[in-house]
Chain A
Amino acid sequence: MLHPAAAGQGGRHVTDTPLTTRLASSRWDLASVLTWAVVLIVFTLPICWILVKALQPESLVFSSVISLTDFTLSNFFRAIDQGSLVSYTISTSIIALLTCAVVLPLGLISGYALARFTFIGRGTLLFLFMFSLTIPGLTNLLAVYQVFSFARLINNPLSLVILYSASSLPLSVWLLRAYILSLPSEVEEAALIDGCSRIGILWRIVLPLALPGVGAVAVLTVVSVFHEFIMAQTLVKITGIGVVNQGLWRLQTEYTLDYTGIAAASILVSVVPVLLFVVLQRQFISGMTAGAMKG
């Protein structure tokens, strides 16, 4: 949630500021040591534990002994093989790219129209996008499934591209509108006077200036595809086609007792989102907060 005043001018700047020191300078007092300890034990230790299990042979699955010499990659190979993870990763990447190919241009032109034009019905459209933003996909899934089966789109990964585009668009429109609102409109006006066409303005002026915003939306869209499971599992039931989480689910339901293999798979399906987060932390966090700001 951003401060209202900041949100009006595209609040992304607020979250962009580094965590600057406020009153006191950083120091190791009892409270900081406790905070670090709690965070490490509660948030990091469980993940490290799963990572260790993924690297240990099956015989040590419930053991607390950790010995570097025992570490093996066999769980990962088994997980990749039994969960069809290579095929699922390729499929997920294609779906994510196609979804971006729909969401980024449509989000940009819609955000631009909502930011720069005054027209009848604008309030209604703003409401539609805000309304859709908070309606979770789950309650629509039944209708989507039935309509897609009439249209013979079940088991067709294109159905996921359509579905993910429709569910990512409201947030993308909202973010890009806020981003364009934060840009000065003088350049566009000058270009119009100089005889630049309106499409030309969009392509040559708005797009380059709004590129960081488009980038943040791209990150969010890709991560949301790598996060998705329930819609894909309902709509596409061909092994190896769909999203990575389906590979993990397959291992969990078919090789129930292979805990080390399942641990390896759960690490593998988390690699892309976590890498994107580590590399693009700033865009990620601004998307996370601005997505909820909606204003």
Chain B
Amino acid sequence: MAALVAASGAQRTGQAPRKFDAFPYLLLAPATVLVGSFTVLALLFTGVASLTDWDVSRRVTSFIGLGNYARAFKDAELIGSFFRSATFVLSVTFLSTVIGFLLAVALNRNLPGKGIVRALVIVPWVISELATGVFWMILLQPDAPLGLIFGGPLRSASGAFISLILVETWRSVGFAMVMTLAALQSVDDSLYEAAKVDGAGAWRTTWLITLPLVSPTLLVVSILLMIGNFNLVTLILALTAGGPISATTTTALLMYQKSFQYFQIGYGASLSILMSIVNVVAMGCFILLQRGRGAAT
């Protein structure tokens, strides 16, 4: 962040270079073309497609203006999926951040064998999303020991939804923990020592010193987890495939199904654009936050 501030400062002074130098442009050209074509052009393509009634079952494709968007805002299936997405995203983000923070505090203190504990908590993040979904699909089968205890959670609507939240939390905690740990390690030791001298206990120290110091990091972790979970598809496919009925069909999964299973390309594209808007808003908060932090130091 500090670097970014310096960069934009340098850019301002660089408005009038003494001599034009093509070298940096040549170095950057290949990566820019590749990345730019995938983000900018894909967005343009999707945007144009979202204005059509493009559908493989239709012979002629024509522009229908904002028809897809009008349909989306009246689509009970989409609205339902959006509420499920919101519940899912907020629950996973809250649980992962809180548990990740507590684990990071525990690791940063006097836990014996903390290197091993850290690795064990990260492993679920290292395993692929699909494998994680498959693991828990097996573990939660009605006849498996864990499934028996909870009465086959994947068979009921609420059970499947709660299972999905907990499995994704299981996967994300390691990420939240590692990020928080990195922030904790840059906290000055003398603050803890001062608190100890003043007679503050472990809970008070955590609550009054550690938490405020790492809360900007926790906010960043939360936004990244929100973006990631809002766009999560693979884990859901492996664990519940959106079911039972549509109990675990989030907006991301619905968009995937419309585009690639029902081939309603125009409508799927409008859902992509709506999702991109949510993503960009979340990302905007993230960038503002980063710049704010960079400027503060």
Contact = CB atoms under 8 A, between A and B. Distances in A.
Interface string A111-122: 011100111111
B46 A4 contact: no
A22 B283 contact: no
A42 interface: yes
Nearest to A44: B120
B1 A245 contact: no
Given A46-B135, A113-B27, A147-B45, A234 B296 contact: no
Given A3-B183, A17-B185, A24-B109, A128 B32 contact: yes
A253 to B, nearest CB: 9
A80 interface: no
Contacts of B272: 139-140, 142-143
A266 B276 contact: no
Interface string A79-107: 00000000000000000000000100011
Contacts, number: 340
B216 interface: yes
A229 B232 CA distance: 12
Given A122-B10, A140-B46, A292 B220 contact: yes
A7 B109 contact: no
Contacts of B158: none
A122 B7 CA distance: 8
Interface string A16-46: 0111011111111101100110011011101
Contact of A118 (B17, B32, B196): B17
A42 B183 contact: no
Given A36-B117, A131-B283, A120 B14 contact: yes
A293 B233 CA distance: 24
Contacts of B103: 35, 39
B138 A31 contact: no
B1 A31 contact: no
Contacts of B208: none
A128 B39 contact: yes
A112 B26 CA distance: 12
B141 A259 contact: yes
Contacts of B11: 118, 120, 122-123
Nearest to A46: B139
Interface residues of A, number: 117
**Interface SS majority for chain A:** helix
Contacts of A3: 183, 186
Contacts of A6: 186
Contacts of A263: 134-135, 138
A102 B6 CA distance: 29
Contacts of A1: 179-180, 182-183, 216-217, 220-221
Interface in A184-236: 198, 223, 226-230, 234
A166 B28 contact: no
**Interface SS majority for chain B:** helix
B80 interface: no
B227 interface: yes
Contact of A106 (B8, B34, B234): B34
B127 interface: yes
A120 B37 CA distance: 21
A278 interface: yes
B150 to A, nearest CB: 14
Given A229-B234, A245-B130, A50 B15 contact: no
Contact of A141 (B6, B106, B217, B259): B259
25 contacts: A19-B118, A26-B111, A32-B110, A50-B135, A53-B138, A110-B28, A110-B31, A113-B28, A114-B24, A123-B7, A130-B287, A131-B283, A138-B275, A139-B46, A140-B46, A141-B256, A142-B272, A143-B41, A143-B272, A229-B128, A229-B234, A230-B234, A230-B237, A262-B138, A270-B127
Interface of A: 1-8, 11, 14-15, 17-19, 21-29, 31-32, 35-36, 39-40, 42-44, 46-47, 49-50, 53, 61-62, 64, 102, 106-107, 109-110, 112-114, 117-123, 125-126, 128-132, 134-136, 138-147, 162-163, 165-167, 169-170, 173, 178, 181, 198, 223, 226-230, 234, 245, 248-249, 252, 259, 262-263, 265-266, 269-270, 273-274, 277-278, 281, 284-285, 288-289, 292-295
Query: What are the 3 A-B residue pairs with the smallest beta carbon separation, nearest first?
Result: A295-B1, A8-B2, A3-B186
Given A1-B221, A119-B24, 14 more contacts: A2-B183, A4-B294, A50-B139, A62-B143, A110-B27, A128-B35, A138-B255, A142-B268, A142-B272, A146-B265, A249-B130, A249-B238, A270-B128, A288-B179
